[in-house]
Chain A
Amino acid sequence: MKIGKVIKKNIKLLLRSRVSTLVLIFGPLLVILLVGFSFSTSTFNLNMGVFSGSYSELSNSLMEKLKSDNYGVTKYDTENMCIESVKEGQTHACVIFPPDLKIENQRTNTIKFFVDQSKINLVYLVMSSLEGSVGEKSTEISKDLTGKLVASLLNTKTKIDSSLPLISDIKTEDGLIVTAADNSINSLDSLDLGTGSKVAPDTRVGKVKNELDKLLSDSSKLVDDGLDIIPELEDWVESNGTAYLNDLEDKLNEINSTLKTKHNTTAKELTLLSQEINESFNNIYKKLDNAKNVNAAVLSKLNTIKDTAETLKQKSETVEKNLQDISADVSTVKVTDIENIVSPITTEINPIVKEQTNLGFLFPSLIVMLIMFIGLLLPSTLIIMEKNSKAYFRVFTTPTKNRLFVTATYLTCMILIFFQVMIILLVSQFFFKINFMNSFFMLFVALIIIMSFFILLGMLIGYIINTEEMAMLASVSVGTLFLLTSGIIFPLESMPLSIVEKARFNPVVLGSEVFKKSLLFGADFNSIKTSFGYLLLFSLVLIILILSVRKADKFQFLLKKPTRMKIKKDFLISQFDFGERKAKSLAEFIVSIQNLNEDKFQALLKQSCYSDWLLLAYNNRYLAKKTEAVKSKQEIVKILVEELKKISVKK
C-alpha cells in the first residue's frame, strides 16, 4: 500500500538521521526518565553548608536531623565561607545557627538560611526540605515545651483542686481564730489587774506588832500579876512550901523572858516580813502594771489578729474563688493533647486517587507537555526534511495525491509518538507505579486526540515554514506559549482574567484535563467530552489549514525561487574559474573575469552573470546593484578593484 510505503520511508528517514533520532526519539524518553526520577518520592541529594559561632546540643541535633534526612552537611569556619559555598555551587544552601542555640526565655532563636535565588526551583526545593527538617525539630522542641507547660497546668489544677478544701479549712480555722481572739479579748478585757486600795503591810505589820506589843504587855502584866501574886502565894507557899513557888516564879520569869525574847524576835521577823511583803507587793504591783500593759498590747494585737484573721478570711475567700475560677478555667481547657496544642489544625492533602509517587500527579501534564513538544517538533522536522530533501521534486512528478502525503506524515508521527508514549507509560507503570491499564481505552482515545492536535499543528508549522531552524524555533515558541498559559509552570490564577479565560481553551490545558481524568480518575466519556470536542474542533480547523497551505505550498514550490536561485547560483559559481577551482572571494572573482575571453565575457554580461554572482554567490547586494549596468570588462574590474581596496583598507 502506497501510504504504508510513505510511512515506512518517513520512519526510516527519521531513524537514520542521528540528530533527529536523538532529539526526537530518545530525547523525550530521556527527559521522562530524568523527570520521573526527579519527581519520584526518592530523596534529593542536597548539600547544606552550616555555620555557628558556637555549636550547641540543639544545633548539633538539627544537623543530625538534616543528615538523617539525607542531606550532605558541611561545616564552615565562617559565615562568609558558608555563604560563598552557595555562590560557588558547592552547597545548595547555607544554614547559620545562632551561637549556643538553645531554648530559653527571652531568647529568640532564628536560624538563617542562605539560598541562591537565581536557582529558583532549587530554592523552593531546598527551602521546603529545610523547613521540613528544621520544622520537624522545631515542632519536636515545641512539643516538649508545651508538654511541660501542659503538665504543669494539669498539676497546678490538681493541686488547686486539692488546696481548695484546705482553704475552706483555713477559712474555718480563721473563723475559730477570730472567735478565739474575740473570746480572748473579752477575757482579757474582763481581767482585773488593778491593785485596788492598797493597805500598807507596815500598817498591818504595825497592827500585828501592836497586837504583839499588847500581847506582850498583857503577857508581862499577866506575868507581873503572877509575880505579884507570888508574895501572897509565898505566904501560902510558906504554908505549903516555897520551892514550888520559886519554881513557878522561875518559870514565869522564864516565860516572861521568853515572851520578851520571842516578842523581840517576832517583832524583828515581823519587820523583816513587812519589808519582804512590801517588796513583794511592790514587785506584784510592778508585774501587774506590766501585765496590764502587756494585756493592753495583747488586746491590741488580738484585735489586729482578729482584723487580720477577718481580712485573711476575706482573702481566703477571694483566693478560694480565684482558685475555683482557675480550676474552672483549667477545666474548660478540653484540649490537653500536646500534639493538638502544637498543631491545633493539621493539614493533610489527600490525593483523590491512591498515591504512588509525586510523579503520579504531575504525570498527565508531563505527558501532554511531552506530546506537545514532540508533536510540534516531529512533524515539522519531518516535513522540513522532506521539503529540503533532494527527493522533494521527484515526489511531485509521481502520480500521488497531496492528501496521501499529509495523511502519511500524520500517521508516521502518530505511530512514533504513540510508540514513545507507550514506552513512557510502560516505564512509568513499572518504575513509577503509575497504573494506566485500568482506563486504557479512554486513555487511548485521549492520547489519539491530544496527539492529533499537536501533530496537526506541527504539520502546519512545517508546511508554512521552509527551514528546519525556523520550524524548530516556531515549534518551541508555540509550545512555550501553550506551556506558559497552561498553569503547569505559572499558576493561571496569577494571570490577567482575560488570559485565564482564553487559557481554558489552551490545548495543553484541555489535553491535561482529558489525560488526567482518563488516567487518574478513570473518568467516562461524558466527563471529558467537552475537552474532546474542543480538541477535535481545533484539529479539524488545522486539517483545513494544512490542506490549504499544502496546496499553496505545492504551487509555491513550482514557482519556488530558492530552487531556481540555487540552480542559478550553482551555474554562476561554475562560470568563474580560479585556477583549478571556482572563484570564491572578490579577488578571485576579479582574476576570473580578467581571464575570460571577450566572447564569454559578453555572453555572461548579457545574462547579468556578474551582478548575479555578486548577489547570489558573494552575497553583496550593493556591489550587485553597482555592477548591474556595466558594459565592459574594464568597467567591472575597476569597480571591483575599488571595492577590494576599500575592504583591504578596512581590514
Chain B
Amino acid sequence: MKLPLIKVENVKKVFSGNSVLDNISFEIVSGEIFGLIGASGSGKTTLLNTLVGVLQPDSGDVFFRDDNIVEANDNSRFRSVFENLNDVKKKFGFAAQVPSFYSKLTVFENLDYFGSLYNLSKEARLTNINTLLDLVELDNARNILAGNLSGGMQRRLDIACALIHDPMILILDEPTSDLDPVLAKHIWLLLQKINKRGTTIIVASHHFADIEEICSRIGIISNGKMVHVGTLHELTGILSKGQEIHIETYPGNYEKIMKCLEDPLILAKENRGNEFVIHTSKPDKVLEKVLKVLSQMDENLMDVNITKLSLSDVFSKVSKKK
C-alpha cells in the first residue's frame, strides 16, 4: 500500500465550548487531489488550518511524511506538524478562502516577496515566478497591481503565491467561492495542471460538481466529524440506491405507470409531478421494461434521463441522515 503523505489522527478542536473538530482521522496520499466537502461551519477551514499547523488541535496530531528520514519502520518517517512548523511551512502551500496577497504590489512583486519569505534565492525565485506565471497564465499581468486583477486572476495569483516555494502539498480553502462558473472552471483546470506536476492537493469547496470531477478522494465533514472518506464511487456506493432514471411522458399518468412497473431491479420509484424517477442499479434493463409499459399505456415519451448519484446528492443524503 502507498505510504500516506499526511496522517491526521484523532484531531479535536473546541472553540468556546463548541466542538469544531471532533476526533477527525484520515490520510492523504501523495499525488492525489483530496476534496473536502461540508456545510459552512462544519469545520473544513479549521481542519485545513490545523493541517498546515496554523491551528494547534486540543488533542490528536497531524503528521507529515519526511522523505529525508530513512527508517525501516514506516511510522518513524512521520513527523508531527506542530513540532516542525518551519519544515511544514516549507512543504505546504496554503490558499485561503480569501485571496491572500498585497493588492498594492504587482503580481511579480507579490510572488517575489513571498518567495523571499521562504528564503528562496533570487535565482530560485525568478525561476519559480516564471514557471508559476506561465502555469497560472498571469505572465502578461506580471507588472499589474494585484488589486487591479480580475477575480479569477486574483485567485490564480493566490494559488501561485501558495506555490512559490514549490510545496509538496497545496491546500486550498474554497478556491472558487466567489468566482463565476467559467472562472471557476479555469481554477479547477489549473489545479489539475498543478497536480499533474506532482503536487498533492487538498481542496475544500462547495462546488460539489467540480470536486467530484477532479478529486481522486473526497472527505465529507459534518459538524466537525469526518463522516465519510473515499472515492466518489465508494461514496455513492455506500450512500445511494444506484442510478436514477428520470422519465417525462404525455399525458403523464405517472401513478398508473408506476403501478405497472413492478420489477426486482427497480429499487425505488418517485412521482415528482412533472416526472417520475426510478432508482436502479441496472438502468438499461429497467429502461427497456419502462418503454414497453409506456407503449402499452399509450403514454408518449417526452424526455428520459439516466443520472448517476452526484456528490451533491451524496452530501444531501449525509445531511439528511444526520
Chain A positions within 8 Å of B, measured between CB atoms, are: 2, 5-6, 9, 12-13, 16-17, 389-400, 558-559, 564, 566-568, 570-572, 574-575, 599, 603, 606-607, 609
B112's nearest neighbour on chain A, judged by CB, is: A5
Residues of A within 8 A of B178 (CB): 570
Complex-state Cα separation, A58 to B316, whole angstroms: 101
* Min C-beta distance of A245 to chain B, whole Å: 192
Interface status of B196 (Cβ within 8 A of chain A) = no
Query: Is B63 at the interface (CB under 8 A from chain A)?
Result: no
Q: Is B113 touching A9 in the complex (CB atoms < 8 A)? A: yes
- Interface contact B117-A400, CB-CB below 8 Å: yes
How close is B165's CB to chain A, nearest CB, in angstroms? Answer: 8
Question: Can you list 5 contacts pairing A with B, beta carbon distance less than 8 Å?
Answer: A9-B113, A13-B102, A391-B110, A564-B45, A567-B45
Contacting pair A558 B40 (CB below 8 A):
no
Decide if A399 touches B118 in the complex (CB within 8 Å).
yes
Kindly state whether residue B19 has any CB partner on chain A within 8 Å. Answer: no
**Contact partner of B99 among A2, A390, A575, CB < 8 A?**
A390
Q: A392–B98 Cα gap in the complex (Å)?
A: 11
**A391 lies within 8 A of B49 (CB):** no
Contacts of B49 in A (CB 8 A): 558
Complex Cα–Cα for A568 and B93 (A): 23
How far apart sit A572 and B39, CA to CA, in the bound complex (Å)? 11
Of B55, B105, B322, which is within 8 A of A12 by CB? Answer: B105
- Cβ contacts under 8 Å, A574 to chain B: 177
A389 and B112 CA atoms in complex are apart in Å by 17
Q: How many whole Å from B309's CB to the nearest CB in chain A?
A: 16
Could you say which residues of chain A place their CB within 8 Å of the CB of B110?
Answer: 391
Complex A-B, nearest 6 residue pairs according to Cβ-Cβ distance, in ascending order: A398-B117, A394-B100, A5-B116, A16-B104, A571-B40, A399-B89
Known contacts A390-B101, A393-B100, A568-B41; decide if A559 and B116 are in contact (CB<8 Å): no
A9 contacts which chain B residues (CB < 8 A)?
A: 102, 105, 109, 113
Nearest to A5 among chain B residues (CB) is B116
Closest to A559 in B: B15
Listed in ascending order, the chain B residues whose CB lies under 8 Å from chain A are 15, 39-41, 45, 49, 52, 54-55, 85-86, 89-90, 92-94, 96-105, 109-110, 112-114, 116-119, 145, 161-162, 177-178, 316, 319-320, 322
On chain B, the residues within 8 Å of A393 by CB distance are: 94, 96, 98, 100
> For residue B171, which residue of chain A has the nearest CB?
A397
Tell me which residues across on chain B come within 8 A of A398, comparing CB atoms.
89, 114, 117-118
Q: In the assembly, what is the distance between CA of A2 and CA of B121, in Å?
A: 10
State whether B113 touches A5 (Cβ < 8 A): yes
**Residues B103 and A390 in contact, CB atoms below 8 Å apart:** yes
Contacts of A6 in B (CB 8 A): 113, 117
| With known contacts A9-B109, A558-B55, A607-B41, A391–B116 Cβ distance under 8 A | no
Q: Do A567 and B89 have beta carbons less than 8 Å apart? A: no
- In this complex, what residue of A is CB-closest to B89? A399
Task: Assess A2 versus B101: contact at CB under 8 Å? Given A397-B54, A558-B49, A607-B40.
Answer: no
Contact between B119 and A399, CB atoms less than 8 A apart: yes
- Is A13 within 8 A of B319, CB to CB? no
Query: Measured between alpha carbons, how far is A391 from B45 in the docked complex, in Å?
Result: 17
Residues of B close to A606: CB separation below 8 A: 39, 319, 322
Residue of A nearest to B90 (CB): A399
Interface hub of B40, B93, B109 (most chain A Cβ within 10 A): B40
B-side contacts of A392, CB under 8 Å: 100
Closest-by-CB residue of B relative to A404 is B117
Chain A residues, CB < 8 A from B113:
5-6, 9
**Neighbouring A residues of B118 by C-beta, 8 Å:** 398-399
Evaluate contact between B94 and A394: CB separation under 8 angstroms.
yes
Q: Which residue of chain B has its CB nearest to the CB of A566? A: B98
Q: How far is the CA of A639 from the CA of B85 in the complex (A)?
A: 50
Which residues of chain A are near B97, meaning CB under 8 Å?
Answer: 567, 570
Q: How far does the alpha carbon of A603 sit from the alpha carbon of B94 in the complex, in Å?
A: 29
Q: Does A391 lie within 8 Å of B101, measured CB to CB?
A: yes
A566 to B49, CA, bound (A): 16
- Measured between beta carbons, the chain B residues less than 8 angstroms from A395 are 117
Inter-chain CA distance A13–B102, complex, in Å, is: 8
Nearest-CB residue, chain A, relative to B316? A599
Question: What's the Cα separation between A574 and B118 when bound, in Å?
Answer: 35
Q: Across the two chains, which residue of chain A brings its CB closest to B55?
A: A558
- Apart from A398-B114, A400-B117, what are 11 other A-B pairs with CB-CB below 8 Å? A2-B119, A12-B109, A13-B104, A16-B104, A390-B100, A391-B102, A397-B89, A399-B90, A567-B97, A571-B40, A575-B40
Chain B nearest CB, measured from A401 CB (Å)? 9
| CB-nearest residue of chain B to A396 | B54
A397 lies within 8 A of B116 (CB) = no
Closest-CB distance, A22 to chain B (whole angstroms): 15
Is there an interface contact between A12 and B104, defined as CB atoms closer than 8 Å?
A: yes
Whether A558 lies near B54 (C-beta < 8 A) is: yes
The residue in A391, A570, A599 that gathers the most chain B C-beta atoms within 10 A of its C-beta is A391
In the assembled complex, the Cα of A567 lies from the Cα of B44 at a distance in Å of 12
Given known pairs A12-B105, A399-B119, the reply for A603 and B100 (CB within 8 Å) is no
Contacts of B86 in A (CB 8 A): 399
- Chain B residues near A2 (CB-CB < 8 A): 116-117, 119
- Per the bound structure, the CA–CA distance linking A397 and B93 in Å amounts to 8
Shortest distance between the CB of A276 and any CB in chain B (Å): 151
The residue from B39, B104, B145 contacting A603, defined by CB atoms under 8 A apart: B39
Closest to A563 in B: B98
Contact (Cβ within 8 A) B41 A390 = no
Most B CB within 10 A of own CB, among A395, A396, A558:
A396
Q: Return chain B residues, CB-CB under 8 Å to A558.
A: 49, 54-55
A599: B residues at CB distance < 8 A: 316, 320
A2 to B97 alpha-carbon distance, docked (Å)? 27
B residues near A17, Cβ cutoff 8 Å: 104
Q: How far is the CB of A130 from chain B (nearest CB, A)?
A: 52
Closest residue on chain A to residue B145 by CB atoms: A16
On chain A, the residues within 8 Å of B319 by CB distance are 603, 606
Q: What is the CA–CA distance of A5 and B113 in the complex, to the nearest angstrom?
A: 6
Q: Which residue of B lies closest to A385 (CB)?
A: B104
Q: CA separation between A599 and B312, bound complex, in Å?
A: 13
CA distance A308 to B50 in the complex (A): 131
For B93, the chain A residues whose CB sits under 8 A away are 397
Residue of B85, B113, B145, B322 most packed against chain A (CB within 10 A): B113
Q: Which residues of A contact B90 (CB under 8 A)?
A: 399
Whose C-beta in chain A lies nearest to the C-beta of B125? A5
When C-beta atoms are compared, the residue in chain B nearest to A608 turns out to be B41
- Complex contacts, A568 vs chain B, CB 8 Å: 40-41
Chain B contacts for A603, CB-based, 8 A: 39, 319
Chain B residues near A567 (CB-CB < 8 A): 45, 97-98
Residues of A within 8 A of B45 (CB): 564, 567
Report the Cα distance A394→B104, complex, angstroms: 15
Q: Which residue of A lies closest to B40 (CB)?
A: A571
Contact B116 A390 (CB under 8 A): no
| Interface pair A13/B117, CB less than 8 Å apart | no
Residues of B within 8 A of A13 (CB): 102, 104-105
| Interfacial chain B residues near A390, Cβ < 8 Å | 98-103
**In the docked arrangement, what's the CA distance between A12 and B97, Å?**
26
Chain B nearest Cβ from A468, distance in angstroms: 14
Question: Which B residue's beta carbon lies closest to that of A2?
Answer: B116
Bound-state CA distance A394–B163 (Å) is 12
Looking at the assembled complex, report how far the CB atom of B21 sits from the nearest CB atom of chain A, in whole angstroms.
14
Nearest B residue to A571 by beta-carbon distance?
A: B40
Q: What's the Cα separation between A564 and B96 when bound, in Å? A: 12
| Nearest A-chain residue to B92, judged by Cβ | A397
Complex Cα gap A606–B42 (Å): 11
Distance to closest chain B CB from A430 (angstroms): 34
- Contact at A5–B117, with CB atoms within 8 Å? yes
Residues of A within 8 A of B145 (CB): 16
For the complex formed, measure the closest distance between the CB of B94 and the CB atoms of chain A, giving whole angstroms.
5
A411: shortest Cβ distance to chain B, in Å?
15
Residues of B contacting A570 in the complex (Cβ-Cβ under 8 angstroms) = 97, 177-178
Asked if A394 and B101 sit within 8 Å, CB to CB, the answer is yes
Smallest Cβ-Cβ distance to A8: which chain B residue: B113
CA distance A398 to B98 in the complex (A): 17
Residue of A nearest to B101 (CB): A391
Expressed in whole angstroms, the Cα–Cα distance for A558 and B177 within the complex equals 22
